């Protein structure tokens, strides 16, 4: 990580904190707030401590290394769109018709020699210091506890290297890793991930599964661990393609896994496929806790590190966070690959306050009736796109996908009940809103038509509309109208609900002459004047097959928390909220400089 630090310093993207700061809550809270600032920088904590362990660490902690567009591009080595262009050119290679074309093709293919990892026949810099057997102690690493209700400390930026039973297929992924004790880790392999597929192979064969976890080194390794490549395609190939040079790997000391030579830490071991243990809870990138579930356990056989290592970590929770910048790079780079499945796709965005898989907006060339609905099914059937819950499709004449204000106007002017498709399919295992684990409703909206005939609504003030609504449902505490100048006026309703939202929606039908789209949220913990966080809340909290109500140009969306009232079969998780005592103490010590408005704006 030292080269990464120099690059960050050179571009004024690093803030160094020399105060003693606790690895439990304090470091994560500072990082969580820093990355929400417009001028956010990476943070290096030089004196991490643990009151829980009564310990001071010599290893610094680095957070928010991808905490800005500029930093992300620095570590990619170029702009993400430039990488996408290189991939697109590769996908469009045709047989050469002339000698000069043959030379050009050879030049392109020659560059591909660097995509394959280079195995070094020596110990790596990452293996300079070794702890094995009884000397293994995960508590010697400043592993963070991010949220008050987390099940313990978690490694949050581990590059998890695994391989198939026969060793032919290799995978690099990023999964949270819970520290159970000095030599055991919980492996949060979600059921759709490659590592879970490998685990089932080893389990069937009755063998232990080798795993090595690298932390730090070249930040591009960390980004590659998040790359949504097809099953069987090794993520280190993407590292080589982007870097223009091979990943340099060395063999782990106690298993057969190859890991980066330059990693700061490497944790090696084996997963006994006969053992499972409760993992979690953990405050995740959805902004909610994922609850306790049984997951495999890794027995650590060896920990190695380079001289003067740096511990790399991230913090996940409510947006915007570091995954915003990593996700945007991924979105740009993988656009050409997505186009191979849906050629009429022009572009797409996954807004960070939609928590990526929860919301996508795609621009396409709509050529025939039902074209957008065909796209919906294609998206829901493509790799990690299959986890997308809510997809809006606009035509090529739509505003820029980065201009959310104009784009939302465009969508509102084309939103009608007959162009809404509600389906079902797989969901991200972190999704909490569906009745069933990892399976639930999908929403697709065709906004490519511009000839929609809408019933005219009579727009009245918020105050007048609130009086009319309260006369029907007294439990409603506040309302706020949005987009009243479009063909789909929106009314956001805050409520302390005493009955099912669907029944309230039915009762409020008389007000449909004043509005078209009713969005219900809980009065508690929501600010109806904050559309950024309202979108975050609603797309997290709805299952389209249960929470969207459709009548003739009168639409209801239930974005409230679900529970006994709805006969919700699962436990609804809590938000990831900062510990306000910790926040106040950090402010008093001069480590945070934010006001109450900032805390409120991001639901901190």
pLDDT in tens, 342-353: 889 999 999 999
- Is residue 20 within 8 Å of 49, Cβ to Cβ? yes
Q: Is residue 368 pLDDT above 90, yes or no? A: no
Using the predicted structure, report yes or no on whether residue 337 has a pLDDT greater than 50.
yes
**Domains identified in the chain and CATH numbers:** 2-93+111-313 (2.30.110.10), 323-447 (3.40.1670.10), 462-566 (3.40.1670.10)
Tokens 């987390």 correspond to 150
Q: Report if pTM > 0.75.
A: yes
CB 318 within 8 A of CB 311: no
**For residues 528-536, average pLDDT:** 97
Window from 100-109, 245-254, 544-553 with minimum mean pLDDT = 100-109
pLDDT score of 105 more than 80: no
Q: Does the pLDDT at position 62 exceed 70?
A: yes
pLDDT (tens digit, 9 = 90+) per residue, 268-297?
A: 999 999 999 999 999 999 999 999 999 999
Q: Which long-range contacts (CB under 8 A, 24 or more apart) does 152-155 make?
A: 152/178, 152/179, 152/180, 153/23, 153/24, 153/178, 153/179, 154/178, 154/179, 154/282, 155/179, 155/185, 155/213, 155/215, 155/267, 155/313
Report the pLDDT averaged over residues 42-67.
97
pLDDT of 130-182, one tens digit each?
Answer: 999 999 999 999 999 999 999 999 999 999 999 999 999 999 999 999 999 99
**pLDDT higher than 60, residue 533:** yes
Band (pLDDT 50/70/90 cuts) for residue 452 is: low
At 216-256, the pLDDT tens digits run 999 999 999 999 888 888 999 999 999 989 999 999 999 99
Helix (H, G, I), strand (E, B) or coil at 479: strand
Confidence (pLDDT) at 185: 98
CB neighbour list of residue 480: distance below 8 Å, 6 or more residues apart: 462, 491, 492, 528, 529
Q: Which of 88-92, 321-325, 499-503 has the lowest mean pLDDT?
A: 88-92
pLDDT at 210 over 50: yes
Question: Cα separations (Å) of 514 from 320, 455, 470?
Answer: 34, 11, 14
Name the pLDDT band for 301 (thresholds 50, 70, 90). very high
Q: Does residue 354 sit in helix, strand or coil? A: helix
Q: Which comes out higher in pLDDT, residue 161 or 93?
A: 161
What per-residue confidence (pLDDT) applies to 508?
97
Tokens 């795993």 map to which residue?
211
Which helix (DSSP H) or strand (DSSP E) does residue 73 occupy? helix 69-76
pLDDT above 90: percentage of residues in the chain: 80
Tell me the per-residue pLDDT of 395-426, one tens digit each, with 9 for 90 and over: 999 999 999 999 999 999 999 898 899 999 98
Higher pLDDT, 96 or 140: 140
Whole-number pLDDT of residue 601: 95
Of the residues 284, 323, 431, 543, only one is catalytic, namely: 284
**Structure tokens of 145?**
């506890």
Mean pLDDT of all residues in the chain? Answer: 92
* 383 CB-side CA count, 13 A: 16
Structure tokens at 226: 């998040």
C-alpha span between 47 and 61 (Å, rounded): 8
Q: What pLDDT was estimated at residue 265?
A: 98
For residue 511, pLDDT beyond 70: yes
Nearest to 160 by CA among 274, 269, 14: 269
- pLDDT(110) > 50: no
Query: Would you say how long the chain is, in residues?
Result: 604
CA distance 177 to 314: 13
Residue 551 CA, distance from chain mean position: 34
Predicted confidence (pLDDT) per residue in 487-497, tens digit: 999 999 999 99
Strands 517-522 and 554-558: parallel
Asked whether 256 and 262 are in contact (CB, 8 A), the reply is: no
Report the pLDDT averaged over residues 459-473.
Answer: 96
Segment 25-49 shows an average pLDDT of 97
Lowest mean pLDDT, pick from 88-92, 507-511, 564-568: 88-92
Q: Is 344 a catalytic residue?
A: no
Is the confidence at residue 478, as pLDDT, over 80?
yes
């Amino acid at each position: 990580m030292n080269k990464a630090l120099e690059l960050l310093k050179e571009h004024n993207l690093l803030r160094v904190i020399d105060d003693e700061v606790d690895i439990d809550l304090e470091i994560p809270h500072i990082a969580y707030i820093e990355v929400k600032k417009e001028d956010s920088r990476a943070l290096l904590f030089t004196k991490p401590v643990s009151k829980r362990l009564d310990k001071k660490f010599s290893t610094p902690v680095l957070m928010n290394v991808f905490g800005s567009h500029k930093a992300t591009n620095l570590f990619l080595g170029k702009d993400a769109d430039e990488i996408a262009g290189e991939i697109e050119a590769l996908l469009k290679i045709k047989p050469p018709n002339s000698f000069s074309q043959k030379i050009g093709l050879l030049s392109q293919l020659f560059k591909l020699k660097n995509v394959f990892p280079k195995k070094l026949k020596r110990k790596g810099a990452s293996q300079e210091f070794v702890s094995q057997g009884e000397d293994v102690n995960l508590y010697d690493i400043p592993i963070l506890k991010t949220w008050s209700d987390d099940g313990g400390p978690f490694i949050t930026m581990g590059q998890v290297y695994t391989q198939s039973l026969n060793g032919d297929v290799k995978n690099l992924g990023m999964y949270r890793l819970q520290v159970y004790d000095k030599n055991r880790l919980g492996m949060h392999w979600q059921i759709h991930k490659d590592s879970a597929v490998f685990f089932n192979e080893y389990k069937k064969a009755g063998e232990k599964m080798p795993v090595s976890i690298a932390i730090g080194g070249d930040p591009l390794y960390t980004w590659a661990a998040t790359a949504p490549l097809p099953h069987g395609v090794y993520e280190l190939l993407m590292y080589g393609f982007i870097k223009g040079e091979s990943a340099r790997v060395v063999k782990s000391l106690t298993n057969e896994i190859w890991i980066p030579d330059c990693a700061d830490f490497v944790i090696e071991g084996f997963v006994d496929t006969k053992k499972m243990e409760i993992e979690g809870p953990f405050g995740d990138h959805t902004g909610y806790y994922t609850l306790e579930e049984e997951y495999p356990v890794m027995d650590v056989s060896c920990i190695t590190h380079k001289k003067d290592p740096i511990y790399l970590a991230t913090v996940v929770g409510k947006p915007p966070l570091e995954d915003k910048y990593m996700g945007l790079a991924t979105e740009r780079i993988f656009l050409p690959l997505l186009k191979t499945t849906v050629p009429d796709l022009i572009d797409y965005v996954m807004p960070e306050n939609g928590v990526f898989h929860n919301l996508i907006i795609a621009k396409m060339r709509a050529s025939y009736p039902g074209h957008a609905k065909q796209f919906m099914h294609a998206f829901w059937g493509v790799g990690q796109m299959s986890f997308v819950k809510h997809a809006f499709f606009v035509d090529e004449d739509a505003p820029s996908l980065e201009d959310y204000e104009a784009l939302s106007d465009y969508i509102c002017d084309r939103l009608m009940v007959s162009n809404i498709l509600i389906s079902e399919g797989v969901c991200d295992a972190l999704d909490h809103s569906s009745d069933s684990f990892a399976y639930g409703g999908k929403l697709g909206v065709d906004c490519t038509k511009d000839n929609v005939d809408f019933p005219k609504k009579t727009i009245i003030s918020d105050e007048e509309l609130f009086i009319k609504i309260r006369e029907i449902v007294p439990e409603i505490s506040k309302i706020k109208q949005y987009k009243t100048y479009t063909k789909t006026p929106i009314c956001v309703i805050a409520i302390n609900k005493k009955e099912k939202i669907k029944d309230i929606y039915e009762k409020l039908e008389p007000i449909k002459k004043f509005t078209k789209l009713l969005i219900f949220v809980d009065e508690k913990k929501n600010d109806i004047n904050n559309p950024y966080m309202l979108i975050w809340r609603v797309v997290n909290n709805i299952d389209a097959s249960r929470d969207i109500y459709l009548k003739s140009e009168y639409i209801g969306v239930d974005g409230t928390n679900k529970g006994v009232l709805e006969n919700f079969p699962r436990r609804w998780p809590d938000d990831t909220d900062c510990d306000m005592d910790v926040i106040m103490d950090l402010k008093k010590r001069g480590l945070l400089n934010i006001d109450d408005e900032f805390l409120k704006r991001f639901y901190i």
